[in-house]
Amino acid sequence: MPTIEVNYQDLQTLVGEHIPLDVLQEEGILYAKGEIEEIEGEVLKVDIKDTNRPDLWSAEGIARELQGRYGTKKGLPAYAVKPSGLTVKVSPKLKNIRPLTVCAVVKKLNITPDVLSQMIQLQEKISVTFGRNRKEVAIGVYDLHKIKGPIKFTSVKPDGIRFAPLEFNQKMTPAEILKKHPKGLEYGGLLKGLKEYPLFIDSAGEVLSIPPIINSNHTGKISTATGDIFIECSGFNFKFLVPALNTIVAALADRGGQIQSVRVDYPDGVRHTPDLRPKKTKVNVDYVKEVSGLKLSRGQICELLEEARYETRPKGKSIELLYSAYRQDIMHPRDVIEDVIISYGYNRIKPVFPKLVTTGGVSDIEKFSDAVTDVMIGLGFQETLSYMLTNKNALFGRMNLPEGDVVEIENIVSSNWSVFRNWLIPANMEFLAKNKHRTYPQNIFEVGDIITPDRAMETKTRDRRRIAASSSGARTGYEYMASVLDALFSSLGLEYQLVPARHPTFITGRVAEIRYNRKSVGILGEIHPKVLNSWDIENPVVSFEIDLGKIL
């Protein structure tokens, strides 16, 4: 869901048609799976919903979809590629560092401010969103005339070379860049633990970049004065690199640039990139109708796909398709069918409500929880709701308990939410602690799940539905909560026993185990003043907690 900015005038120029703003907003932008979120003068802020279609994340990409639907250009966009004669040699040293690159040359670009801002934005969105924050895709763009081929993609020791990084005049080693340059600080983690860093360097010894961190200030600075450029994408997997490069060069070709290929010499073979030959797939006409529900003829389907920039070749019940090399999202005919429906227009479809006879219902534990809740409300208790995530101090320390075994989060956002609750009374205590200046008595309860470790389970944990109820106030007491508990069990039609117990959370001699069918199902007691002090609660509290699954 990247949000991109496009200029309304620039977009219309690219499409070659005037599209009224309301038409663009209501209909046009949907063809690019977008939604206009904000309009500021000429600038449209567009949320593109498809995280798997980087080709849509630029004015050029949106324009291609609009061209198809508003009639100026349909069918497959064609991109011619001539060889540039430039070679990039990939060193075997990169094997465990950053082994792959795909490169291209684009010539005769007229880099207007709109072109420059779109190019920078697309590069940024691809490397961050599609390229997993530069891990999978790092992109470098350079002024071709400042580079002397062949280029080497190799590795260098952190202090093995000095060059001025982008926006800096002073020369630095890669190690220094990681410590001082803002991009070094931001992306340095990607090189953590490596003995050598990746390096693009030309045959004159001029540094291009240390991917995925930063370009050099000399070769890697693009302006409106630049005409011919060299582009490289580096990473670990062609599945990410190829669509990234293809998307960028296609956008530049749409701006009038000429795409030229680069010979990339790998230790085990040669690749010529970019490869913009269209890809092939096919769909069955009946399958399109079955999935969409639309009554479409083969001809209509072909027309809708041409609008979505496919080339179509109908053959019997099936349609053979060619689509652009920048698309990597088509895995199954379903993906093509969605394009048919988008072309047709989601809001043109008349929704049909299916008549399916089924019986509804909820699980027994939910029904039982509702019954328990009803009784508690009848007894004048206010229901509360709290997070299942809490911390050990709330569960143990403040409850005067030794630390026990709980389910723990690794990547915590806040230490307040670092473990899952393993009992529910602490949630009552936290609530009462936050309301000590409110009117008493405070009678509260919560019905919710707790989680306990259990090695035998598939997920090594077990969820348990519990109720915790507490009464707090100057005049509340053990007898009162014993009555509430009795009322609850009687209303549920259940027999129970109270057996004197010991529990550090409660006052000795005022705590009982609740038994049902001779099994322990909960606890009732007056909270120990030590616990009240630790929560800074100034009124007595009497609580009970019951495992509802055990009395269901």
Partner 1 sequence: MAEARKKTPDFSIALSWAKKNKWVRIEKGKIVIVKKPTKIEEREALRNIDLKKPVGERMLRVLISRKLVEKVRKDSYKKIKKMAGKEVTTLSPELIKTGMWKHVKIKPYNVSVRGEKLYPGKRQPYNRFLLQVRQKLVELGFREMTGPVIESEFWNFDALFQAQSHPSRDWAQTYTLKKPRQGFLPSKKLVERVSAAHENGWKTGSTGWGYKWDPMKAANLMPRAHGTACSARQLARGVDVPGKYFAIKRCFRPDVIDATHGVEFNQCEGIIIDESLNFEKMLGILKMFAIEIAGAVEVRFYPDYYPFTEPSVQLSAKHPQLGWIEFAGAGIFRPELTEPLGVKQPVLAWGLGIDRLAMCKLGIKDIRHLFSQDIDWLRRQRVTV
User: Between 190 and 444, whose beta carbon lies closer to partner 1?
Assistant: 444
User: Between 113 and 378, whose beta carbon lies closer to partner 1?
Assistant: 378
Cβ neighbours for 161, distance < 8 A, ≥ 6 positions apart: 173, 174, 199, 201, 207
Q: Which helix (H) or strand (E) holds 49?
A: none
Side chain identity at residue 272, one-letter code? H
Give me the half-sphere count of Cα atoms (radius 13 Å) on the Cβ side of residue 92.
3
User: Between 202 and 339, whose beta carbon lies closer to partner 1?
Assistant: 339
CA 1 to chain centre: 8
Whole-number Å distance between alpha carbons of 391 and 407: 10
Find the helix packing angle between 59-69 and 113-125, rounded to 10°.
Answer: 100
Judge whether 156 and 149 are in contact, CB under 8 Å.
no
User: Between 80 and 362, whose beta carbon lies closer to partner 1?
Assistant: 362
Whole-number Å distance between alpha carbons of 224 and 251: 16
Cβ neighbours for 93, distance < 8 A, ≥ 6 positions apart: 154, 155, 196
Q: Shortest gap between Cβ of 420 and partner 1 (angstroms)?
A: 7
Give the number of other CB atoms < 10 A from CB of residue 123. 24
Specify which residues 526 forms β-bridges with. 542
Q: Shortest gap between Cβ of 15 and partner 1 (angstroms)?
A: 19
Whole-number Å distance between alpha carbons of 376 and 384: 12
User: Would you call 320 helix, strand, or coil by DSSP?
Assistant: strand
Whole-number Å distance between alpha carbons of 419 and 394: 10
User: Between 217 and 534, whose beta carbon lies closer to partner 1?
Assistant: 534
User: Between 95 and 434, whose beta carbon lies closer to partner 1?
Assistant: 434
User: Between 223 and 411, whose beta carbon lies closer to partner 1?
Assistant: 411
Q: Shortest gap between Cβ of 536 and partner 1 (angstroms)?
A: 14
Whole-number Å distance between alpha carbons of 542 and 470: 6
Whole-number Å distance between alpha carbons of 125 and 132: 10
User: Between 206 and 329, whose beta carbon lies closer to partner 1?
Assistant: 329
User: Between 406 and 527, whose beta carbon lies closer to partner 1?
Assistant: 406
Q: Shortest gap between Cβ of 87 and partner 1 (angstroms)?
A: 28
Q: What is the dihedral of CA 33, 38, 40, 41, to 10 degrees?
A: 50
